[in-house]
């Protein structure tokens, strides 16, 4: 007998109750469950990222936000901090899970039984890089598709790098990130200043 599953990290919806058929999961309405992965560095998560998370989570049964643990980069926030901050700011969004991953994104998707990658597009300048990533992933695993969501216009200039640039000089980032994240940025930069004294 196939096990019945009930999965919900945050809240419960009927679509998150169903039958596990091994590779596939069928929800209570008999429809194959669709899981998408929204990958990124999220160092830190911005209001632009949250905009993409909210909109894409409505299109799938489950959205996994994959936080890249990249040992070649030296992020401001550790991967644990980035995962925790995403958990906090996404706690009210149903069907969203936050997980760290390392290595190839396509392997992470395989592990999660997903073949949909979500990415945000802010401006034409993003396109070349995003096209390269999408085509690389598709050549590594042709069953994977990348869906691009155009970021709402008020966030089109916004990036984690811009947030860090402003925050490190004491600028106000309350319009760029959730309050919780601006508090953490203040702590992080104050802490660094103290350390250098
Ligand atoms: O937020 P970012 O830094 O633009 O996200 C980049 C990310 C995480 C999507 C990309 O670097 C990635 O998927 N890295 C994992 C390694 C990998 O799979 N590389 C092949 C595709 S470029």
- CATH code for position 154: 3.40.50.620
Active site residue 73: yes
Active site residue 122: yes
pLDDT, tens digit, 9 for 90 and up, residues 99-109 = 999 999 999 99
Do 99 and 139 sit in the same domain of this protein?
A: yes
Is there a domain that residue 194 lies in?
Answer: no
Do 81 and 174 sit in the same domain of this protein?
A: yes
Spatial separation of the C-alpha atoms in residues 143 and 85, rounded to whole Å = 31
Helix (H, G, I), strand (E, B) or coil at 29: coil
Residue position matching structure tokens 């597009």: 121
Do 28 and 97 sit in the same domain of this protein?
A: no
Nearest-atom index, ligand 1, CA of 106: 18
Q: Residue ranges for the binding site for substrate?
A: 41, 73, 105, 119
Q: Where are the alpha helices (DSSP H) in the chain?
A: 47-57, 79-89, 105-111, 124-140, 160-168, 179-196
* Contact in structure between 25 and 33 (CB atoms under 8 Å): yes
From the list 25, 62, 82, 122, the catalytic residue is: 122
Is there a domain that residue 112 lies in?
Answer: yes
Is there a domain that residue 18 lies in?
Answer: yes
Do 81 and 6 sit in the same domain of this protein?
A: no
114 pLDDT more than 50: yes
Do 77 and 135 sit in the same domain of this protein?
A: yes
Is there a domain that residue 148 lies in?
Answer: yes
Is there a domain that residue 5 lies in?
Answer: yes
Helix (H, G, I), strand (E, B) or coil at 143: coil
* Structural domain count of the chain: 2
pLDDT, tens digit, 9 for 90 and up, residues 39-75 = 999 999 999 999 999 999 999 999 999 999 987 889 9
Alpha-carbon distances of 176 from 51, 159, 172, rounded to whole Å: 11, 9, 9
Measured in Å, residue 37 CA sits from the centre of ligand 1 at 12
From the list 25, 49, 82, 164, the catalytic residue is: 49
Task: Give the structural domain span for 98.
Answer: 34-189
Do 13 and 74 sit in the same domain of this protein?
A: no
Alpha-carbon distances of 9 from 40, 64, 76, 87, 194, rounded to whole Å: 21, 11, 27, 10, 38
Residue position matching structure tokens 């309350």: 174
């Amino acid at each position: 007998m196939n096990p019945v599953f009930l999965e919900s990290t945050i809240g419960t919806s009927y679509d998150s109750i169903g039958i596990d058929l091994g590779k596939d999961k069928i929800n209570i309405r008999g429809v194959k469950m669709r899981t998408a992965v929204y990958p990124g560095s999220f160092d830190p998560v911005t209001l632009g990222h949250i905009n993409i998370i909210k909109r894409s989570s409505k299109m799938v049964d489950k959205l996994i936000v994959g936080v890249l643990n990249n040992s070649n980069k030296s992020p401001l926030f550790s991967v644990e901090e980035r995962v925790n901050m995403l958990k906090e700011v996404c706690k009210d969004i149903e069907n969203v899970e936050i997980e760290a991953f390392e290595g190839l994104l396509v392997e992470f998707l395989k592990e999660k039984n997903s073949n949909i990658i979500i990415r945000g597009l802010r401006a034409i300048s993003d396109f070349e890089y995003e096209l390269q990533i999408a085509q690389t992933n598709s050549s590594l695993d042709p069953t994977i598709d990348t869906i691009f969501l155009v970021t709402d216009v008020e966030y089109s200039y916004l990036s984690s790098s811009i947030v860090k640039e402003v925050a490190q000089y004491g600028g106000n980032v309350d319009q760029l990130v959730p309050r919780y994240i601006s508090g953490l940025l203040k702590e992080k930069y104050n802490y660094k200043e103290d350390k250098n004294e």
